[in-house]
Amino acid sequence: MSAAADVLALASIEVELSKIEPGACASLKWRGKPLFIKHRTAGDIDLEAKTSLASLRDPETPEQRAQKPEWLIVIGICTHLGCVPIPNSGDYPGGFYCPCHGSHYDNVGRARKGPAPLNLEVPPYKFMSDTLVLVG
């Protein structure tokens, strides 16, 4: 009673990071869900490093959410009711905006405004090299 081969094949994916330009956000499909991989700029990193944890509804530091500061990897499902947010939009520079009910996330995927109660979920991942990441 083990998982079928096609299910196991989708359990993890390798992503080549060198194709994602600074400031861009790649949208992929992983385990039937949208996966966002954002190449954060130095400006993105500096901006969120200054955010007070007291101002967040689900306080997490950028270091807790990203293994390498320049790479954010999150599941692209709003934590309010499951819609798909739009990368690089909303009230927070480089962040995410959910058009269904108006949730805004910053460029580290932290819930900042609107009804979303939690930050965007960070899936398990590991860097295989400087330009290759394994998600899952």
Q: Report pLDDT digits (tens) over 58-73.
A: 999 999 999 999 999 9
Give this prediction's pTM. 0.90
Q: Is 101 a residue of the active site?
A: yes
Instruction: Spot the catalytic one: 39, 80, 101, 104.
Output: 101
Query: Looking up tokens 């398990």, which residue turns up?
Result: 124
Residues of the chain with pLDDT under 70: 1-10
DSSP structural state of residue 4: P
**What is the DSSP code string of 56-104?**
-SS---HHHH-SBTTEEEEE---TTT-PPPEET-SSSTT-EEETTTTEE
